[in-house]
Amino acid sequence: MHQEQCTTLTVLDNVPFGTVSGESLFFALRIERPEWADWQPGQFVMLRPEGWALDMMWARPFSICRVSKRDLVIFFQVVGRGTKRLAELKTGDKVVVWGPLGTPFAVEDKTPTLLLAGGIGIAPLVAYAQKHPQPWNLHMEFGHRMPLNCYPFESINERITAASHLERGPDDLAHFLDLIETSIKEYAESDGLVLACGPTPFLRAVQAFAAKHGARCQLSLENRMACGVGACLGCVTKTTDKMTAKGVAAGRAQACEHGPVFWADQIVLDED
């Protein structure tokens, strides 16, 4: 039974988080709550303002950051044409939303679970920490380049431990990568779970460490998408022979349908 819906919803508010050189580039977009039966952290929505008319044809995919009784919150960073226009959204504007879409993160109540977030990739992991039945088993390492107040780091479930790492240059990055490798190794040794979301180079590093140390690891991808429902084949990722998902053929899997969360050993991250 499918439960996805496409509805027009009203923007409640669009709150900037922090500033970068005086500019607001990070926003928490709060819209009225869609009538979903259920959703899982790691799933996403497609979102397209009605005001875009035909200029920009595609909706944009966003991880679900929070769903409460009143609202749905997504978190975004201004990176291109679409997100620049999204930053202009105001209270009362209408947006077309469809979801919840995609395959969520694995949840194992009692398993020590390491959350690795890079930049704006923190959004679905905020949701994960909030919804986890035994959050005391979670720990987050968060790497970021912009000031910490640009990200919803403070909104993370207080019952999990979390550390943030500002990356000012190559030395910081090397240090952060050492730290996550050490953590991944530890979690591998205790048969823990590693979940990561962030920029592709970051995911590639996590994937390599997970393979090296034999960690059970899932990665959430952010591929360019047009439809979000598995039809356009624009968001595919190459798969390895370990891919077990039903319906994956020809060594390609749609990130919207079979992902965005994949087991790290089942996909190949392209160089770009």
Partner 1 sequence: MNMNVTLPGSTGLQFKNPILTASGTFGYGVEFAPYGDLTSLGGIVVKGLSLEPRAGNPMPRIAETPCGMLNAVGLQNSGVETFITEKLPKLPTDELPVIANIYACDPAEFGELTAVLAAEKGIAAIEVNISCPNVREGGILFGQDATLAARVTEAVKKAAGDKPIIIKLSPNVTDITTIAKAVEGAGADVISCINTLSGMGVDIRTRKPLIANVIGGLSGPAIKPVALRCTHQVCKAVSIPVIGMGGIASAEDVLEFILVGAHAVQVGTSNFLRPDFSFRLVKELEQLMEKMNITDLEEFRGSLKL
**Tokens standing for 12?**
């409640």
Cα separation of the two ends of the chain: 37
Taking the complex as a whole, the smallest distance from the CB of residue 37 to partner 1 amounts, in Å, to 12
Taking the complex as a whole, the smallest distance from the CB of residue 6 to partner 1 amounts, in Å, to 5
**C-alpha atoms less than 13 angstroms from C-alpha of 212 in its C-beta half-sphere:** 13
Taking the complex as a whole, the smallest distance from the CB of residue 196 to partner 1 amounts, in Å, to 20
| Count of residues touching partner 1 (by CB under 8 A) | 37
CB 152 within 8 A of CB 122: yes
**Nearer to partner 1 among residue 175 and residue 252 (C-beta):** 252
Q: At what angle do helices 200-213 and 170-189 cross, to 10 degrees?
A: 40
Burial of 59 (0-12, 13-18, 19+ CB in 10 A): buried
> Does 98 contact partner 1 by CB under 8 A?
yes
Taking the complex as a whole, the smallest distance from the CB of residue 219 to partner 1 amounts, in Å, to 16
**Nearer to partner 1 among residue 104 and residue 152 (C-beta):** 104
**Nearer to partner 1 among residue 112 and residue 234 (C-beta):** 234
DSSP 18-52: S-BTTB--EEEEEEEPP--S---BTBEEEEEEGGG
Region from 11-19, 124-132, 170-178, 251-259 binding partner 1, contact rule CB under 8 A: 251-259
Region from 22-30, 83-91, 132-140, 250-258 binding partner 1, contact rule CB under 8 A: 250-258
**Looking only at residues 4 through 63 of this chain, which bind partner 1 when binding is defined by CB under 8 A?**
4-6, 48, 54-59
> Does 106 contact partner 1 by CB under 8 A?
no
Taking the complex as a whole, the smallest distance from the CB of residue 35 to partner 1 amounts, in Å, to 14
**Nearer to partner 1 among residue 206 and residue 236 (C-beta):** 236
Region from 71-79, 145-153, 210-218, 231-239 binding partner 1, contact rule CB under 8 A: 231-239
Rounded to the nearest 5°, which phi and psi values hold at 38? Answer: -165, 170
Q: Is the dihedral of CA 255, 257, 263, 267 positive or negative?
A: negative
**Nearer to partner 1 among residue 190 and residue 250 (C-beta):** 250
Say if strands 252-254 and 193-197 run parallel, antiparallel, or are unpaired: unpaired
> Does 227 contact partner 1 by CB under 8 A?
yes
Rounded to the nearest 5°, which phi and psi values hold at 223? Answer: -90, 155
Interatomic CA distance for residues 68 and 134, integer angstroms: 19
Binding site for partner 1 (CB under 8 A): 2-6, 48, 54-59, 81-82, 96, 98, 223-224, 226-234, 236-237, 247, 249-252, 257, 270, 272
